[in-house]
Each structure stands twice: as C-alpha cells, then as structure tokens.
Amino acid sequence: MERYNFKTIEKKWQEKWIKSGVFKSKIDHSKEKFYCLEMFPYPSGKIHMGHVRNYTIGDVLSRYKSLQGFNVMHPMGWDAFGMPAENAARENNLDPKEWTNKNISNMKSQLKKLGLSIDWDREISTCSEEYYKHQQLFFLELYEKGLVYRKENYVNWDPVDKTVLANEQVIDGKGWRSGAVVERKKLNQWFFNISKFSQELLDGLDDLKLWPNKVKIMQKNWIGKSFGCEIAFKTEGDIPVKEIKCFTTRPDTLFGFSFLALSVDHEISKYFLKNKEFQDFKTECSKTGTTEEAIAIGEKIGFKTNLEAINPLNPKQKVPVFFANFVLMDYGFGAVFGCPAHDQRDFDFAKKYGLSIKTVVKPDGEKESFEVKDEAYSGPGVLINSEFLNKLKAPEESIKKTIDILEEKKIGKKKINFRLKDWGVSRQRYWGCPIPMAYDEEGNVVKIPKNNLPVKLPDNIDLNSKGNPLDSKTDWKNFTMNGKKYIRETDTLDTFVCSSWYYLRFCSPDNLKYGYKQEEIDYWMPVDQYIGGVEHAILHLLYSRFFTKAIGFKNNSFKFKEPFEGLFTQGMVCHETYKDQNNNWLSPEEIELVGNQYCKKGDKKNKVKVGPSESMSKSKKNVIDPENIINSYGADAVRLFILSDSPPEKDVQWSDQGMVASFKFLQKLWILHTKIKEKIKNNNNNNSEDKTLQKYTNQMINKITNNLNGFNYNVIIANIYETYNFLNKEIEKKINSKVLKDSYKKILILFSPAIPHFTAECMDELGFIDQIKWPKIDKNLLDEERIDYVVQINGKKRAILKESRDIDQNSLMKKIRSNELSKKYLKDKSINKIIFVKNRLINLLINE
RNA sequence: GCCCUCGUGGUGAAAUUGGUAGACACAAAGGACUUAAAAUCCUUGCCAUUUAUGGAGUGCCAGUUCGAGUCUGGCCGAGGGCACCA
C-alpha cells in the first residue's frame, strides 16, 4: 500500500494555496468579517516551538471560521526593531537592517512550511520606513493633543558603557555587559500620558467579555485605583515650605499619627542638600532597591529632620518629619502620614526609630483598652482614642465621616489615586523608530514638519561607539532647516510603541497617506480574536488599548473602543532540561540513552542529570528546532501533536514519542482513507440505511463544533482519534456507498482545520475540494433512539439498561423488575423513593 | 505581605456544567504474528481471591443533596502576577 508522502503532498498544497490566493482577504460587505490575529514575532532568526503552537492555534481558528462562511483576515508581520539586532550586529560586525531582513526571510519560509492560512499580501515590518513614518506622524499628532510630553526621569545608567540599561539588563545592581555598578541618573525623556486614560482603561475591561479573567485582573491591579483623601499637613521648621500634602486611604486613623515620611526626591529635599548626613542617606537609599535581596528584606531606613508636622485634627500634637527609603516619589505626593498601629510598614518604621504607636481601631469583640502589640492591625473594627471619631465603624463609616470633616475644615479632600504611571517611551538606542523632534540652538523643542517625515534612521552606524550610536552620528544629528541650525532628538521609541498599533496597519498595509484607511478600519476592526503569550498580559495589551483610545480620541473616528474583542493566551512549550557532570546545559541532541541512564553523546562516562521540564529557552538549551521536526514528520503531524497533549491555555510538554505517534497516526489515517476510497468506488448501494454512521458523524459535528468554539483544541484531536477508531471498525461492515461518501466528506471537513494538507489531498481525491462548507448538525439524527439508563440503588451504580428514548418511569421500573439485577439487589425489599431523571438515570432508595 | 489560578491513574489529560469518573493519547506489563528483532494488532490498568464479581477512589476534613471531580466552608500543596502603591 502506498505510504502517505507528506513531503510532496504538503508542498503541493502550499503552492496551490498561494497560487489560487485563497487566503487573500478584502472587504466584502455581504459577509460577516472575522479578524484573527496572533502576536507577531520578533525576527530572531528561526521560529521556535512557541511560534508553532501560537500560529497553529490561530490557523485552526482562521480555517474554521472561513469554512463557516466568515470573511477572514489572518495577517502576519514582524516586530522588527529592538536590541537583539543591535547586539547581534555588533558581535558579527553587520548592519542591523541586513541582519533583521535576513532573519525575516528565513522565518517567513519556515512559517510557510507550517501551511498557515496567512494573507502574506498584508505583511508588514515595523523597521521599514513605510511603517515607522506613520508612527512618527502619530507621535506628532499625540504631541499636539498634549498626550506626549518631556520630563526628567531616572534611568539605570552604566558608567562604563555610557549607556542606559533596561531593568532586565541590571543584574544584582550591575550592568550585564560591563559589570559596572549601575547608577541612577536623571535624563530628559519622552512620555505618553497613559495615566490620563486610567479610568477609561479600567472601565473598558468590563466590556471585554471574551478576555481571560486572569488578564483583566492583572490589568486592574496594574492600574491600581484607590480611593482616599489628600491631606495638607502644616509644618514647623526652618525652611520656607510650611505645608506638606499626603495621600492616604485611611484618613480615619489620623489620631494614630506618629510621624510624617517623605521621599528623598520630595521637593523639600532641596533644603537639605547641603547637609552631608542627608546626602549620605540619599546615596544609601539609591543603593538599596536595585538588588533583589534588598527588596526582599525591605529594611526601612529614615533620616530625621528638624521639622515637625501638626496633626490637622489635633493641633496640639506635633510629630517628627523623616525622609524614608520606602516612600515613592511617583505615587501620591511622595509623602506619607505614618500611623504605626494600623499599617505594618509604618509599624516597622516606628519600632526602629522609637516612635509612638497609638491604637485607634479595635477589632470587634475586643475591649476598649485594646492595644496593638506585635504587629499592626489593619482589619475592620471600631474607632477608639479618636475624640469625636470614637465609636465609628471602621473602615467605611469612619473614612467617610473623617473626609467630610476634613473637607469642611478645608484641610483635605476626597481623592482617587492610580498606580498606573505614564509610559516612558525614550530609548537611548539605535535600532528603533526615530522620535521626530529636534532642538534649536537655544534648546527649545521643535517638531519635525509632517511633510519632512519620515525621519530616517541613518545607515553606516558605528555600533561600537560608547553610548547611543545616534549621538555620535553628528552628520545625522545636526541639520539645518530654513537656514537655522538644529539638533535631532537622538532617542528612539520603545518597541512597544510599534506593536501598539500594528493591528490597525494590517487593515490597510499599503496606504501611503496615513497609518490606516478609515474605510478598512471601519470594516475590519476590532480584532475578533487575538492570540498570544500571557507574558504580554499587562504591558503590550495595555499600551495597545491606550493607543486605540488615544488615536481614536484624537481623530474622534473609531467605531470601536477596544482593539481586541477576544483574547486567548496560550501556554508555553516545555521540555526537560539536561546538565552534564560539569553543570553545563546540554541540548536534547547532545545526549543519548545508555541502559536507563542518559549520557553525553559519545561519552558514556559523562552521566547527564535530568532537570525539571521548563519553558524551552536557548539559555537552557532545552529546545527542539521546529524546522527539523517539520522536515522529518511534516507540518500536519507537528500541528497534530502541538495541539493534542494539553489544553491550549496550559503549558505543554514536548514529547518525542508523542510526536512520533502523531506521525504514525497520519499514516494509519491514510490507510483508512484508501480503504474508504475503495468502498466508495465499489458502489454498494444496498438499501440498508446505515444510520449508525450517519448518527456518529452527526454527533462528531456537534462535538467538534462545540470544542472549536470553546478552544478545546486538545479535545478536538481526541475527537479525531475517536472518529478514526470508529471508522476503522465500521469500515469492515457492509456500508451503503452513498452514506459512506456523504459522511466521510463531512468528517474530512471536520478534520481539516487541524490537518489541512492531509485532508485537502483526500478531498481532492474524492473530487469535492472546491465546494466545502462547515457541515450542519442534523437535529433529527442527534438524539439516540436507545439510551443507556443508569440504574442506581441508594446512589450506587448497579446496572445500565439500554432502553428506548423518553421512556417513562413506570415502564422503566417494569424493565428493572424483570431484570436480573432486581432479584439480586431489590429482592423483597420495599422501595422508599424513586428519583427519575429523564433519559439519564433512575435512583432507587431502599432500606438495606 | 496582597491578588489570581490549579490539585483527577505511572504520565499528559477528558467528563454534555450536579447524574456511568478516567474519553483520547504517551509509557509500562502480558499476549498474537515472526526463526528473531522492528513494525503492527489485541488485552491489562488501584485493592481484594479469578477474564466474571465486589470494594475503595478525583489533595485533606466537614457540609448541602437521592446523587458531588463539579456547589459551600475550613485546611494542606503547587504555579503565576504585583511588590514598600500610603
């Protein structure tokens, strides 16, 4: 028998699909649209198994939706700016653009081998001028709307490499490349005013019904809305500032006030800069916080000033003012009122500096004399020791009342605070989108005129220069406009900006005038299903939501509020990890099994330690190269395996045996296909109705449709195996050819989203490839005529009776009484109660 | 510390949403075919004496119910997110 030759068959269909243009998408108002988008990849050079999983999931969905009659758009592009290109180019003495474009063409051909239903006409690359010129225009437009601004902010500064480091490049407080101790340095940087949309971004989450709850909760926590009160504390001391504002969520504990703590960057710190002790303290603070240990221990340190703050509700009480390391400048006002009895952090601080700890809330059920001892109490209760606030219920009633009093006295007011900070978009890097701004000779900020866009990234860059390469590219940096001299902004945009609007660009990738075309956006947006890794749950998704709101707000032209209607976060692909005797990581190809012990290949003495299964990563070498796998087993087999073992939202373990099994399964399926083909040809038109096959097929349509709708793709693969097992037995019987052909056609369509090449070949052989539609469920066939009734006695399953559908309780009881089991379990015992569930079970309660 | 999710055979997992627990697959053991191996096919799956039969059984303890993997409360364990957020 002929083997299934995936190599020729997959290639054949991939070429046919491209030639016929079946995946091309264009506006068609007669059809409902479906925009399916997977997070586009960074062109690192090769695709990895994570991509295979991500894009297979998206492809199954796209193909399924097409078969259902939707007008599907399924595009792909490249998140092509970013540091790896710069690093790789430096190491290999290459141009980042060349490196990136080479990677793109390689990865594109790899993706094509997976047989994805992608409309490649819509391909975009964020590092192309055609893409980033629109991004620069967006930047200017947002700037004009006041949504972009410049301010000084701290960065991680590597004093040896003279460069800014991302947080993940700082390891134990040192630069990853130079090893130098990282400093905090203030730089002027560009910011997007995302915090302006805090409330909107929070409210929008409620509309995202097709998002995982987990992601919505993560975003909600990230935005971090808190209700409270701002209070102005009068201060006494030898500085000109006589008032300090604090934000608090617990104004009701004001009578437990024992100190005021300020961030070292608080504006009044300038009056202490001459003080050497304060300077030392500030240095100390900047050291802690960078190392992970320091954060874990979280030791609280303070610097006591000679200032005193007055309790606004009790002017007789004066407390010391400290600078403290735990107060953040960019939350609230950078100042905290300390109530040690009811806040653990304040408690720790008060213990360390011997400050008073006055209890003002007692838990319900405690005596009036209750006192906080070993730890702060932050739960509910009743106010005590608080004069006119006594006996109020904490927290709701007491907070409300206190705010009323403070507002009345004009000392404070109700306030809502968000944790979400503005988005710093400046990167001191070469390989990114240039920021279209400049500075005149006086240092004033100037926009690059829109008709001068794009500001092109210069070629021939010296990547080995210290600091930002654009800074030393003086012929690019300096320019004249209308006879005046200017200096360009040398920072480039965070690559998250590129990915914040690419879903808009896919709708009209060739539009030269603007980032998108209104008509196309109106039709295609929003993305119906977005699919990607959960690691982007916060930043990328939040930034994209912001961008949609900001651009829509600017142009007042979007019919949608949110970019991604549905979100699916898939799990990672994991593999065991291996280390040799010298603790070096080994890849799966570098080991072999000797007996039941893994050893380094060709070195039997070097025993390999098998570590836990972890997400595939280059650093741990536990990677399987998809290209090798596709070459050995074919795309359909890989798709089958990657979908089969675990639900798509969970991590999946890579298994060589599982992969081989998927491959073998397709071979078996091919044999079955040839048998079925023969049977159909035999044209056996006996009159038997063959309801069994029709019913089974119908049930499978129901199951697979439901499982596709619910993203239970692993169960679909099980359904495919099940169907095979059934057909493989059924085929031995006499079957009406017409019924067989009809059912088999439907079954092939059901299989086709998962294994498209294989089924295309089969359909073609049967001559119906051009007219396929997702099969409909025949409701008349769905209900079985005979049903397995579970007979329980006192809740225990005792028998299963196959009886006709819709049988009533009495008839079923008669059957039970005439049945063997009644003699055994019922005998002469009387039945106290019968629970009868139609078409399902009957439960007889008897006295034992 | 706070928030979220999840605990089902040797393993990955199913379970029409309160109604036959373990579909489907991997691994293992036994068997068939074969001179043999590979490949393929079949059987087994925890405990009790047996292909039949009974019992226990979905992390642990209680509860609701005729009936709980599924609902409620408490505990234990694993994973993830935030991290001095006032």
Which range has the worst mean pLDDT, A148-162, A535-549, A678-692?
A678-692
* C-alpha span between A106 and A109 (Å, rounded): 5
At residue A300, the 3 state secondary structure works out as coil
Q: Is a pLDDT exceeding 60 seen at residue A383?
A: yes
Q: How far is the CA of A694 from the C1' of B24 (A)?
A: 22
Say whether the CB atom of A419 is under 7 angstroms from strand B.
yes
Give, as ranges, the nucleotides of chain B with any atom within 7 Å of a protein CB.
Answer: 1, 3-5, 11-15, 19-21, 23-27, 39-41, 54-56, 66-68, 80-86
| H/E stretch holding A554 | helix A539-555
Residues 295-314 of A with CB under 7 A from strand B: 295-296, 298-300
Protein residue at shortest CA distance from C1' of B40:
A668
Three-class secondary structure of residue A171 per DSSP:
strand
Write down the pTM of the prediction: 0.94
* CA distances for A17 relative to A56, A115, A562, A757, angstroms: 17, 9, 33, 10
* Amino acid A348: pLDDT: 92
Looking at residue A689, what is its pLDDT? Answer: 66
Q: With a 7 Å cutoff on the CB, does A399 touch strand B?
A: no
Residues 530-559 of A with CB under 7 A from strand B: 534, 538
Nucleotide nearest to A833 (CA to C1'): B66
Output the CA torsion A24→A26→A31→A37 (10° steps): 70
Task: Quickly tell me which residue has 């005596």 as its tokens.
Answer: A367
| Rg (chain A; Cα; Å) | 34
Q: Are A64 and A757 in contact (CB under 8 A)?
A: no
pLDDT band of residue A385 (cuts 50, 70, 90) is very high
Return chain A residues 698..727 having CB < 7 Å to nucleic acid strand B.
712, 714-715, 717-718, 721-722, 725
A790 CB inside 7 Å of strand B: yes
Q: Which of A297-301, A566-570, A656-660 has the lowest mean pLDDT?
A: A297-301
What's the confidence (pLDDT) of residue A291? Answer: 45
- Which H, E and C letters describe A730-773, residue by residue? HCCCCCCHHHHHHHHHHHHHHHCCCCHHHHHHHHHHHCCHHHCC
Say whether the CB atom of A584 is under 7 angstroms from strand B. no
A572 touches strand B (CB under 7 A): no
Asked if strand B comes closer than 7 Å to A403 Cβ, the answer is: no
Give the tens place of pLDDT for each residue, A39-97: 999 999 999 999 999 999 999 999 999 999 999 999 999 999 998 999 899 888 899 99
Q: What is the ipTM of this complex?
A: 0.95
Contact in structure between A180 and A143 (CB atoms under 8 Å): no
Give the nucleotide with minimal C1' distance to the Cα of A213: B4
Asked if A289 CB < 7 A from strand B, the reply is: yes
Q: How far is CA A453 from CA A135, A448, A514, in A?
A: 10, 7, 12
Geometric angle at alpha carbon A465, from A460 and A468, rounded to 5°: 85
Distances (CA, A) of A84 to A44, A92, A237, A633: 8, 12, 53, 31
Sheet holding A148-158, edge to edge: A163-165, A148-158, A183-192, A423-424
Please check whether residue A212 is in contact with residue A649, taking contact to mean a CB–CB distance below 8 angstroms: yes
Alpha helices by DSSP H, A373-460:
396-408
Yes or no: say if A448 and A268 are a contact pair by the CB < 8 Å rule: no
Write the pLDDT tens digit of every residue in A460-504: 888 888 888 999 999 999 999 999 999 999 999 999 999 999 999
Note the pLDDT tens digit of each residue in A311-356.
999 999 999 999 999 999 989 999 999 999 999 999 999 999 999 9
Do A748 and A767 touch, CB atoms closer than 8 A?
no
Give A848's pLDDT tier (boundaries 50, 70, 90).
low
Å: A365 CA to B74 C1': 22
Nucleotide closest to residue A335 (CA–C1'): B86
Q: Is the CB of A819 under 7 A from strand B?
A: no
**What is the average per-residue pLDDT within A429-450?**
96
Q: Among residues of chain A, what percentage have pLDDT more than 90?
A: 71
Using 50, 70 and 90 to split pLDDT, how confident is the model at A1? low
Q: Return the SS3 of A783.
A: coil
Structure tokens given for A293? 């240990």
A562 vs A596, residue with greater confidence:
A562
Distance A668 CA to B40 C1' (A): 11
- Give distance CA A578 / C1' B33 (Å): 39
pLDDT score of A292 more than 50 = no
Q: Is the pLDDT of residue A402 over 50?
A: yes
Distance A650 CA to B38 C1' (A): 36
Does the nearest atom of strand B lie within 7 Å of A836's Cβ?
A: no
Please give the average per-residue pLDDT across A185-204, as a whole number.
Answer: 94
Interatomic separation, CA of residue A796 and C1' of nucleotide B62, rounded (Å): 22
Q: Where are the beta strands (DSSP E) in A392-528?
A: 393-394, 412-418, 423-424, 426-427, 433-434, 437-440, 445-447, 478-481, 484-488, 492-493
Taking the C-alpha atoms of residue A635 and residue A123, their distance in angstroms, rounded to an integer, is 22
Q: Could you give phi then psi for residue A204, rounded to 5 degrees?
A: -60, -30
Strands A437-440 and A484-488 turn out to be antiparallel
**Cβ atoms of residues A571 and A648 within 8 Å:** yes
| Confidence category of residue A687, pLDDT binned at 50, 70, 90 | low
In whole angstroms, give the CA distance from residue A52 to residue A45.
14
Q: Which of A494, A574, A583, A490 is nearest to A135 (CA)?
A: A494
Task: Say whether the CB atom of A249 is under 7 angstroms from strand B.
Answer: yes
Closest CA to A136 of A491, A471, A429, A421: A491
Q: Which one, of A575, A586, A633, lies nearest residue A608 by Cα?
A: A586
